[in-house]
Structure 1
Amino acid sequence: MSAPLLAQAAPLPAAETAPAKAPFVKADAEAAVRDLANAVEENYLFPEYGRKYAIFLRANLAAGKYSDFGDAETFARKVTDDLREFHKDGHLRLEVARPEERGTAQAPNGGPANVNDVAKAGWLAPGVAYIDFNGFPGSETTLAEVRKFLDEHKDAKSLIIDIRHNGGGGLAEMNLIFAQIYAKPTTLLDMDIRSAVEAKYGSPFDPKDPLLRRIAGPDTINRREHLAVPAAQQSGLKDAQVYLLTSKRTFSAAEHLSLALKRTHRATLVGEATGGGAHFGGMAPMGTGYAAFIPVGRTFDPDTGESWEGTGVKPDVAVPADKALDEALKLAGAKVTGSAALASLQ
């Protein structure tokens, strides 16, 4: 298994996950299952479930359940469905490896290095700033766009952050926002990783990152707390009302942002409960032509010890996702609908 990366990304849609009609080769598929069983046994964030997953996969393989499929993608989805039926984990999955992406330059969280995942940004109404994220890739292109937005909207009285279709990524984009909206250092959430995994493959985190501080944890766990630290040059956003728009498609690192803001009472969450994926890890090759996302850690509320895995983060103001922007604008005191505001986005 390659070194796990901090990559809280949601699974890609089927059409984007693999080339159409990739051929099924029995020997390659069985090798992938054997590698996957070994990988979860050695690295899965909960050792007891890692062992159970491995036993389950090996039993299915011995029973011939993975010997005949019409194409490679159908096989990979069957393995993923079997794993989630056995024990639900929204991140653990087997995929067909995408040859076109092998060896290409990537952002820190696995996406294209030049991707800009800021979908829209600007003024929705006087004093009301808006930014819409497709994901958190950690790419310099996206980070530059976030810095520009924060500078150009530093006097906003209300800030609306839209993550209704955000499948996740990493922490870099949200850290830029935290530095402007928190007036004092604040502990956000805790993050655990199996110590054996980190010792073997290295840390998925930058050891010099001052926003991820090592703290005491269980013997088999390396625990860090994620901090928000105000920027040296802070803007008026530290006093802004913040509204976070969520939906059932809000996943993974976007849920990290959701719980961090909700737990610290720094934002009002408007919309739907999020998708329910709290585990992080990284992609690793399995056999020939396959790869798996192996969760090696989790993020959770330090007050309760609970994560959002399988349950999601509940909004403060529950409305259908397509009504969330209207509701946030109303809460911000703006006399404009979401559709009209977006149409005239400045």
Structure 2
Amino acid sequence: MKKTLVLISLLYSLAFCCQKTNNPVVKDILEKVKDHYTDKDLYKKLETEFQPEDWDTLTGKELAQKLTEKLRTVSGDQHFFIKYKDGLTSENKKNAKETAAENNFLNSLENFGFENVKRLEGNIGYINFKGFAESHSSAKTLASVMDFVANTNSLIIDLRENRGGDNGMLILFCSYFFKEKTNLYSTYFRDKEKTVQNTTRTKVLGKKYLDKNVYILTSRSTFSAAEGLAYFLKNYKLAKIIGENTGGAANPVDEFIIADQYLTVIPVGKISATITHGNWEHTGISPDIKATSENALKTAYILALKEIMNSKIQTELNRDELENLIEKLENEKSKMAVF
């Protein structure tokens, strides 16, 4: 409640400032926040005073940065983002189809977020995943990744550098770990006054990864849709989270162009998980096993090997070799902790 009141104060401040300086950019951004931000009662609770500042003295980039910092800091909502894009005029804007094609091409240059996929000793799968690109363009790559790790005994998904992305890709990735169709969460879009259900898919292009141990690595930089993957697999007891508490950004966003130069990202909806009736906004995901970002992979790897050994699951390594590998990893982890 305190954060909401402070954010309300900020928006009132912006409005007052706009009247004083008549800054059209700030006024338009304020109107977009008023019309689209997820809290529909924002303007009903204005209470505190505001010290005006002169927005007109700031350059385009400075203005965008300052507005972003204020909205994020005061609201605690890290999805707010304003970027100054010089030369973005109505004449050179691309239509939705052209933009999607360009984004898909750019995402393909980064392999749709899949940085590294491999099999670790002891038959442990490892996926280093850095971003959720659009699901239709990512589906075949995801299927190839999941087919590659299908025969491993357990799986580590590395989300330490993942800043999130496409909601459809979140649903698709989650679908690989659920046997049955599952309604994961609803999203209420207050600007459209509608609620959308988000449900896993029964069929996927690749092989599902079921009834095996899954470990998800997180850091303070893990954000948005990446947090969603950790949140749902954790709460359905399909994965253990190892690492650091995540950023805490759950609500979906929409983009707006202000004055042909300011890309403005505003949270426009609210997620409600079916299993918890809540989400990870502001709080982030708490790990099951705390570890520094640097030690998270070794921590998960050691745990995976121990659980395989205790369950007497056959791997390419015999018991002595597994014990030696665990000892080696623990020694390396200890040395990292010292430094």
The TM-score normalised by the length of structure 2 is: 0.73
> Does residue 1:87 correspond to 2:78, yes or no?
no
The one of 183, 188, 191 equivalent to 1:187 is 183
CA distance in 1 between partners of 2:43 and 2:103 (Å): 24
Provide the TM-score with structure 1 as the length reference: 0.72
Work out the CA distance in 2 between the residues paired with 1:42 and 1:318.
40
> What is the RMSD of the two structures over their aligned residues, measured on CA atoms?
3.3
Over 3 Å counting, the alpha-carbon distance change for 1:133 and 1:109 in structure 2 is farther
2:97 is the alignment partner of 1:103: no
Which amino acid in 1 is paired with 2:37?
Answer: Y
Residue type at the aligned position of 2:249 = G
Aligned equivalents of 2:158, 2:115: Cα separation in 1: 10
The equivalent residue for 1:38 is 31
1:114 correspondence with 2:105: no
2:296 maps to 1:324: yes
Q: Which residue of 2 aligns with 1:8?
A: none
Q: Which runs of 5+ in 1 are unaligned?
A: 1-27, 199-220, 341-346
Paired letter, 1:103: K
How far apart are the structure 2 equivalents of 1:31 and 1:311?
35
Distance 2:27 2:60 in 1: 16
SS in 2 for 1:81: helix
8 Å CA contact retained: 1:156, 1:236: no
Q: Which amino acid aligns with 2:75?
A: H
Q: How do residues 180-219 of structure 1 correspond to structure 2 at under 5 angstroms?
A: 180-194=176-190, 197-198=191-192
State whether structure 2 residue 164 is matched by structure 1 residue 173.
no
CA distance in 2, matches of 1:108, 1:175: 21
Matches for 1:335-346 after TM superposition, within 5 Å: 335=325, 337=329
Q: Please tell me the residue identity of whatever aligns with 2:236.
A: T
1:11-90 map, 5 Å: 30-49=23-42, 63-69=52-58, 71-90=59-78
Shift of 1:85: 3.7
- Quickly say closer, same or farther: Cα 1:80–1:236, change in 2 above 3 A: closer
Q: How many residues align?
A: 284
Q: 1:108 to 1:280 in 2, by over 3 A?
A: farther
Q: How high is the sequence identity, in percent, across the aligned residues?
A: 26
* Partners of 2:204 and 2:276 in 1: CA distance: 32
Work out whether residues 107 and 113 of structure 1, in 8 Å CA contact, stay in contact via their aligned partners in 2: no
Give the AA of the match of 2:224. S
More helix by share: 2
Q: Describe the shift of the 1:67–1:268 C-alpha distance in structure 2 as closer, same or farther (beyond 3 A).
A: same
Alpha-carbon distance in 1 for matches of 2:57, 2:208: 61
Structure 2: tracts of 5 or more residues without a match: 1-20, 306-321, 333-339
Structure ranking higher on relative contact order (CA contacts 8 Å, 6+ apart): 1
